[in-house]
Amino acid sequence: MSSVLACMDVFLRDGLMYSILALGFYISFSILDFADLSVEGTVLLGGVSYSLLVCKGVNPWLAVIVAFVLGSLAGCVTGLLHVKLKIRPLLCGILVSTALISVNLVLAVVGNGGSFNGEGALSTISFSRNDPTVLRTFPASLIPDKTGAFNLRELITFLVVALIFKWILDWYLKTKNGLLLRATGCNEQYVSMLAQNPGRSKITGLAISNGYAAVAGALIATSRANANQGMGIGMIVIGLASVIIGLSLFGKLRFLKPTTMVILGSIVYQACLAIATYLGVPSAYNKIIMAVLFTVALVFSNSIKKGASKA
Amino acid sequence: MIEFIDIVKKFNVGTPDETTLFDGFNLKIEKGEFVCVVGSNGSGKTTMLNLLCGSLPVDSGKIVLDGKNITKMNEYVRAKYIGRVFQDPQKGSAAKLTILENMALADNKNKRYLLTPAINKKRMDYYKSLLEECNMGLENRLDVQVGSLSGGQRQALALVIANMSDIDILILDEHTAALDPKSSERIMQLTDMFVKEKKATALMVTHNLRYAVEYGTRLIMMDKGRIVLDKAGEEKQNTKIDDILYQFNQISIECGN
């Protein structure tokens, strides 16, 4: 029984943590119809910059905001490559995430006070026991750390952060600027006719979505108590699968906002992975399970779309 | 006043398929004119609109609007002065947004799109009154996604949206071509109503010769990038379908259609 609860604890935590990444993908993939691969780099950028600042004793919430800003800047680069240089979305993402590999490595090595002579030795940033992460400072520190099998403090903190970012996005999408972003995703010509630059709107969207990815990176680093250079791998599948599962599984429920569906999708996806682990599937199979789940979600959402167009 | 001055436009430059559509094209449209443009496929009607709106660049020549040279202006910058309705009803609004959201966006045209609430409840009655003029029942469906409307309804909405801001020019690019006869009749009546109400300069491309004769204050027929017929004022009002049909057939026979 206790292992069931531990399994729940894991997927709730991971689901909430990755839901912010999924919200980012909701903006780029669902709203803007832009397959943004730069996220692999920006998640790590968020994780690395947050960890560095926290290790230096900076307030962790400020570090989260810095992570958001840096992620947004990377998103701007992706957007500018696409809008100004007319490079295809997939390639823009590959270019930016490739460049970010170096950026992250340099940041981590230099931040750790290392030089480039002993290569890679210091590329992982680990928190010590006393480093003030978001979990160890006010206000999260007021919550009891554990109740039974649950890491209560971590769950509640991540839930609150996820909800805050969801509410910010909900609010934004109802502003004039947000509505323009949604219009850009479905009809660029229409945005041009409104005397607005659709390119600017796209860049804004990509900046926000990559900012969200970087915040997810900060939470992942908090939860794992380190930021290592492999952190970004697999983030695209996790984010996209969460969005697609969320929107196709809960799409019929009109009273839910799409942002809520995406968060639920992220939790469902992590639950599937956690259950596989619980059933004793070795963790080496994790990525193949992820790919299979993603495929199932894609097929499922396609069949729903077909059904809708027939009706 | 819209002026096309010595416009040159080539397509497929540098390939064996290079064609010159406009070679020194000139056209002057006075303020407040409602110009109907007819002509066979490939005669340059839609290209002329695209050049005016900035969707295509000119190779040489000038486009002047009320004394301002707008030739080098970006499409979205020119859009301040221009309202446009396309042949494809889907192009005139955003499918995933509701009618209300689409109208709220259009209502803000020529202002800045900041982080303020998009929908102003006080404007709802105004939106409804605009939609009532269309007589399509849209005024009671403000919260419906535009993507689920019929072609005729979407085109009516596109027409309303194009006319919501202060525009100098209304561009109608075969905007009834994708509609059934009844809807297209309704859209034409609405178009006429809006043009008269707004007193904007209107430029309508159509394949329907009857509309071209019935509506508008000036009639232009184009062929291979040239203007082959240009009737305005009383001369236009006295034109019968048969007169232009004869001319149109001559062109089409030359083209081998």
Write the residue in B105, B114, B116 that is nearest to A194 by C-beta.
B105
On the question of a cis peptide bond just before residue A89, with omega within 30 degrees of 0, the verdict is: no
Write the residue in A179, A180, A187 that is nearest to B91 by C-beta.
A187
Alpha helices per DSSP H over B3-150: 45-53, 75-78, 99-107, 124-134
Cβ–Cβ gap A176/B114 under 8 Å: yes
- CA–CA distance, B84 with B172 (Å, rounded to integer): 6
**pLDDT value at residue A281:** 87
B127 in helix, strand or coil?
helix
Q: Does A190 contact B at CB distance below 8 Å?
A: yes
Write the residue in B84, B97, B162 that is nearest to A182 by C-beta.
B97
B51 in helix, strand or coil?
helix
Give the number of C-alpha atoms closer than 13 A to the C-alpha of residue A229, restricted to the C-beta side. Answer: 16
Cβ–Cβ gap B96/A185 under 8 Å: yes
Write the residue in B75, B79, B105 that is nearest to A183 by C-beta.
B105
- CA–CA distance, A118 with A113 (Å, rounded to integer): 12
Write the residue in A172, A183, A195 that is nearest to B94 by C-beta.
A183
Beta strands at B2-11 and B19-29: parallel, antiparallel or unpaired: antiparallel
Q: Does A21 contact B at CB distance below 8 Å?
A: no
Summarize the confidence of residues A56-75 as an average pLDDT.
Answer: 94
User: Per residue, what are the HEC states of chain A?
Assistant: CHHHHHHHHHHHHHHHHHHHHHHHHHHHHHHCCCCCCCHHHHHHHHHHHHHHHHHCCCCHHHHHHHHHHHHHHHHHHHHHHHHHHCCCHHHHHHHHHHHHHHHHHHHHHHHCCCCCCCCCCCCCEECCCCCCCCCCCCCHHHCCCCECCECHHHHHHHHHHHHHHHHHHHHHHCEHHHHHHHHHHHCHHHHHHCCCCHHHHHHHHHHHHHHHHHHHHHHHHHHHCEECCCCCCCHHHHHHHHHHHHHHHHCCCCCCCHHHHHHHHHHHHHHHHHHHHHCCCCHHHHHHHHHHHHHHHHHHHHHHHHHHHHC
Q: Which residues of B touch A190 (CB under 8 A)?
A: 91-94
Q: Which residues of B touch A179 (CB under 8 A)?
A: 97, 101, 104-105, 113, 118
pLDDT in tens, A195-212: 999 999 999 999 999 999
Summarize the confidence of residues A151-167 as an average pLDDT.
Answer: 93
Cβ–Cβ gap B90/A187 under 8 Å: yes
> Could you tell me the CA-to-CA distances from B79 to A10, B3, B97, B99, B199 in Å, in that order?
53, 17, 21, 21, 18
Q: Return the top range by mean pLDDT from A62-71, A248-257, B45-54, B147-156.
A: A62-71
Token reading at A310: 């027939």
Using the predicted structure, report yes or no on whether residue A90 has a pLDDT greater than 90: yes
Cβ–Cβ gap B80/A186 under 8 Å: no
- Angstroms from A198 CA to nearest CA on chain B: 8
Q: What is the pTM of this model?
A: 0.89
Using the predicted structure, report yes or no on whether residue A36 has a pLDDT greater than 90: yes
Sheet holding B2-11, edge to edge: B19-29, B2-11, B60-65, B68-69
**Sign of the dihedral through C-alpha B67, B71, B75, B77:** negative
Q: Which residues of B touch A178 (CB under 8 A)?
A: 115, 118
Q: Which residues of chain B fall short of a pLDDT of 70?
A: 253-257
CA dihedral B147→B148→B150→B156, nearest 10 degrees, is -50
Give the number of C-alpha atoms closer than 13 A to the C-alpha of residue A88, restricted to the C-beta side. Answer: 2
**pLDDT value at residue B102:** 94
Summarize the confidence of residues A121-131 as an average pLDDT.
Answer: 75
Cβ atoms A216, A192 nearer than 8 A: no
**pLDDT value at residue A20:** 97
Interface test with A, best of B113, B119, B163, B175 (most A CBs within 10 A): B113
**pLDDT value at residue B85:** 93
> Could you tell me the CA-to-CA distances from A42 to A28, A103, A171 in Å, in that order?
14, 10, 24
pLDDT > 90: percent of chain A: 59
- Angstroms from B135 CA to nearest CA on chain A: 24
Write the residue in B92, B106, B113 that is nearest to A177 by C-beta.
B113
- State which residue of chain B sits closest to A169, comparing Cα positions: B115
Confidence of residue A118 (pLDDT cuts 50, 70, 90): low
Maximum distance among all Cα pairs of chain B, rounded to whole angstroms = 59
Summarize the confidence of residues A281-298 as an average pLDDT.
Answer: 85
Confidence of residue A121 (pLDDT cuts 50, 70, 90): low
- Angstroms from A252 CA to nearest CA on chain B: 15
Cβ–Cβ gap A189/B91 under 8 Å: yes
Maximum distance among all Cα pairs of chain A, rounded to whole angstroms = 64
**pLDDT value at residue A304:** 62
Q: Does A197 contact B at CB distance below 8 Å?
A: yes
> Could you tell me the CA-to-CA distances from A76 to A113, A206, A219, A249 in Å, in that order?
29, 6, 22, 32
Using the predicted structure, report yes or no on whether residue A307 has a pLDDT greater than 70: no
Cβ atoms A259, A178 nearer than 8 A: no
Give B79's strand partners.
Answer: none
- CA–CA distance, A71 with A73 (Å, rounded to integer): 5
- State which residue of chain B sits closest to A172, comparing Cα positions: B115
Cβ–Cβ gap A193/B162 under 8 Å: yes
Cβ atoms A8, A193 nearer than 8 A: no
Summarize the confidence of residues A153-177 as an average pLDDT.
Answer: 94
Confidence of residue A61 (pLDDT cuts 50, 70, 90): very high
Using the predicted structure, report yes or no on whether residue A309 has a pLDDT greater than 50: no
- State which residue of chain B sits closest to A31, comparing Cα positions: B96
Token reading at A19: 């839901």
Cβ–Cβ gap B95/A186 under 8 Å: yes
- State which residue of chain B sits closest to A30, comparing Cα positions: B96
Q: How many CB atoms lie within 10 A of CB A208?
A: 24
Interface of B with A (CB under 8 A): 74-77, 79-80, 82-84, 86, 90-97, 101-102, 104-106, 108-110, 112-119, 162
* C-alpha distance across the termini of chain B, in Å: 35
Cβ–Cβ gap A192/B75 under 8 Å: yes
ipTM of the complex: 0.88
Beta strands at B218-223 and B68-69: parallel, antiparallel or unpaired: unpaired
Using the predicted structure, report yes or no on whether residue A120 has a pLDDT greater than 60: no
